A = this chain, B = another copy of it.
Amino acid sequence: MSLIVTGSIGIDTIETPAGRRDNVIGGSSIYFAYAASFFTAVRLVGAVGDDCPPEVFDIFRDRPVDTAGLEVRKGSRTFRWHGSYLSDINQAQTLKVDLNVLAERAPAIPPQFRDSRYVFLANTHPLLQQQLLAEFPRCDLAVADTMNLWIQNEPQELRRLLGRIHGLVLNDAEARMLTDRTNLIQAAREVLKMGPRFVVIKKGEHGCLMCSADDLFVLPAFPAEQVVDPTGAGDSFAGGMMGHLAAAGGYSPAELRRALAYGTIIASFTISDFSLGGLLRLTRQEIDDRWRQFAAALQF
């Protein structure tokens, strides 16, 4: 099934206990698309400014990623983020953010992308997410990510979005904020009352859980001994998850469980190096090997 992602493309500067990288490629749609491309073809929509080095997109040269939706906007500047994990490897601290092109109009959806069936709306303003979703009239599965900023400042638009999507992906703190419940299973059930058919709560190093009307699934993180850079872990998790669902052509409880396991595996590679380094070297064979290793580590 055709999978599309709309989200940010950014130039990141990242500090972690393992070191520092300046002006490396990042952004939610980049991590998502690269991760999903191990499972299925991906359509990428996003905007950068004319300051973005064009070789950045060479990373997709040998991947099934259609970058026709990538807009290089003249006179604009690319989104930039400077983050640090020095005080807590599990929680990014934003040192500087320049929204730049992200604060302008949304990128245009190429006409040939309008028949996309699987849609991932990476984190942005929920009104913009609704507008983007409306561009895909044949959508079978729409999943969105969100963040604390919109939960606090745009609750009404976020509620409207939740009434229109099939799945929501968010982290544990966001789930608690959105629902005012401390217990994550209770929080997940509250999210379901807001519209989505399933909700995935990401807990970072503690794994994830998925809740739907029919199913409750819990999964630890892959036991990683070295975390070099957690940037993009959540976006590549979502990419692995949606990539598998699009390849499977459905989101039954069984497929959702497998999708979360693939997302978990992909994220474990993402955090093993800075920026996209952990994904650029990756092969599908390594994903499948680690899948078996993970399944074995959970057996009792």
Contact = CB atoms under 8 A, between A and B. Distances in A.
Interface of A: 89, 182-186, 189, 203, 205-207, 209, 216-221, 223-227, 257-258, 260-261, 295, 297-300
A143 B40 CA distance: 49
A225 B218 CA distance: 13
A267 to B, nearest CB: 15
Contacts of A220: 206-207, 209, 218-220
B300 A218 contact: no
A226 B299 CA distance: 26
B206 A300 contact: no
B300 A227 contact: no
Nearest to A209: B223
A216 B300 contact: no
Contacts of A225: 183, 185-186, 189
A300 B89 contact: no
A257 B183 CA distance: 26
B209 A206 contact: no
A185 B300 contact: no
Contact of A298 (B189, B205, B219, B258): B219
B224 A300 contact: no
B297 A216 contact: yes
Nearest to A217: B297
Contact of A223 (B185, B224, B295, B300): B185
Q: From A185, A186, A220, name the one whose CB has the most chain B CB atoms within 10 angstroms.
A: A220
Contact of A224 (B185, B221, B258): B185
Contacts of A257: 299-300
28 contacts: A89-B182, A183-B224, A183-B225, A183-B227, A185-B225, A189-B225, A203-B206, A206-B206, A207-B220, A209-B220, A209-B223, A216-B297, A217-B297, A217-B298, A217-B300, A218-B221, A218-B223, A218-B297, A218-B298, A219-B220, A219-B298, A219-B300, A220-B220, A257-B299, A258-B300, A260-B300, A295-B300, A298-B298
B183 A226 contact: yes
A183 B297 CA distance: 18
What are the nearest 5 A-B pairs in CB distance? A257-B300, A206-B206, A218-B220, A261-B300, A185-B225
Contacts of A218: 220-221, 223, 297-298
Contacts of A299: 257
Nearest to A225: B185
A89 B257 CA distance: 28
